[in-house]
Amino acid sequence: MNLLQLRQQFRTISGRFDLVEEDGTDTGANFYINAGQRHLDRMDETQKSWATAHRFCEVNRYSAQFSWCRAVKEVWAATTSARWQLEKMNLQDLIASYFTTPSPAAVYGTILKSGVTTGFGVNKLIDAGGGLIVIPISSIVIDGSGNTTYVTAIDSDTQLSIGSNVFAAGETYTIYSRATAGISVGTGSPIYYSPTITRAAPETFNTPANEFEAFSGYVNVLSGDHFAYNSVLIGPPTNEKIQLEIKGLFYTDQLSADTDKSYWSEVHPDVLIMAAMRHIEVINRNTQGVNDWNAAISAEVSGIGKDLVEELIAGVTQIEG
């Protein structure tokens, strides 16, 4: 049934002529029908509870937005040549690892030595003060301008060979131990995801959320329109255009146009009408009426849920353990 047919049947069964005109025009029934549909979505998991939202993520981007999601369960990434599942990470850890400018100590490790060069040599760091003999090969070297290189050899206590020619006499330098594990910077193939925040405060501020400092790049929906949207962050930010597949529990699309259809209206229109009539009892605070409808609807939805169970156990011959 489409929405118009559903309303007409609702009018006949419920007798609520005040909610549907004789020609099927809505005068309030749509509200109860959509409320009933959301209730059915939440009651039990069916073969149509899961859905996939497909979103493209451009180079250097790290978020995707989608609407009417109840719960994100999996996120996959795909290119023209590969497809892989992302691992869920705590939001705070994801932000700390990929969206926070870390201190040099966090990125490069501990400071081993700092000073001022006393001479010049091609791809050399020279310090007549000594103390360089204990520096490990591959240690990170940064000059006073922020140029980064690394130690390739220990020439003597006063001279190191380095990977690039960044030093002249009289320049400051700092030598760090190698980068600590777990800190990632820059872009790459995304490995992790986390559901993130899409709500701005105040909610009525009608500026694009990606213009807020705190929301920069996280979402691209208006703050006033965030209500139906969910968003995920991915890390690291992608270094190529990818397609994200967000799998999870989604609400059924709302019915608004007369020709709209849904899983519930097409396959189980009787149950949807029952759920709409139940919501009338909820609004009217009729406890007995709600309980009666709950019992009737649960009996129907339970059978629908069993179809999913049968599908999941097909081919299973023994219990894992």
pLDDT digits (tens, 9 = 90+) for 281-308: 999 999 999 999 999 999 999 999 888 8
- Is residue 112 pLDDT above 90, yes or no? yes
Phi, psi of 253, deg, nearest 5:
-55, 140
**Per-residue pLDDT tens digits for 177-192:** 865 444 445 677 889 9
- Check pLDDT > 80 for residue 231: yes
Per-residue pLDDT averaged across 314-321, rounded? 74
Confidence (pLDDT) at 223: 52
Average pLDDT over residues 143-155: 84
SS (H, E, C) the chain: CCHHHHHHHHHHHHCCCCCECCCCCECCHHHHHHHHHHHHHHHCCCCCCEEEEEEEECCCCCEEEEECEEEEEEEEEECCCCEEECEECCHHHHHHHHCCCCCHHHHHCCEEEEEECCCCCCCEEECCCCCCCCCCCCCEEEECCCCEEEEEEEEECCEEEECCCCCCCCCEEEEECCCCCCCCCCCECCCEEEECCCCCCCCCCCCEHHHCCCCCCCCCCEHHHHHHEEEEEEECCECCCEEEEEEEEECCCCCCCCCCCCHHHHHCHHHHHHHHHHHHHHHCCCHHHHHHHHHHHHHHHHHHHHHHHHHHHCCCCCCCC
Confidence of residue 140 (pLDDT cuts 50, 70, 90): confident
Is the link from the previous residue into 236 a cis peptide, with omega within 30 of 0? yes
211: pLDDT confidence band, cut at 50, 70 and 90?
very low
Q: Tens digits of per-residue pLDDT, 17-57?
A: 999 999 999 999 999 999 999 999 999 999 999 999 999 99
**pLDDT score of 121 more than 70:** yes
Q: What is the pLDDT of residue 105?
A: 55
Q: What distance in Å separates the CA atoms of residue 157 and residue 283, rounded to the nearest whole number?
A: 83
According to the model, what pLDDT value does residue 228 have? 87
User: Residue 222 pLDDT > 60, yes or no?
Assistant: no
The whole-number pLDDT of residue 22 equals 94
Give me the domains of the chain, ranges plus CATH numbers.
1-43+273-304 (no CATH), 50-98+187-250 (no CATH), 104-176 (2.40.30)
pLDDT band at 266 (very low <50, low <70, confident <90, very high): very high
pLDDT digits (tens, 9 = 90+) for 243-258: 999 999 999 999 999 9
Tell me the pLDDT of the chain averaged across its residues: 86
pLDDT given at position 226: 75
pLDDT band at 148 (very low <50, low <70, confident <90, very high): confident
Provide the pLDDT confidence category of residue 102 given band limits of 50, 70 and 90. low
What is the rounded CA–CA span in Å between residue 113 and residue 101?
23
- Predicted confidence at residue 224, as pLDDT, reads 59
C-alpha to C-alpha distance for 254 and 37, rounded to whole angstroms: 8
Residue that wins the pLDDT comparison between 99 and 83 = 83
**How far is residue 116's CA from residue 135's CA, in Å, rounded to a whole number?**
16
**Looking at residue 206, what is its pLDDT?**
52
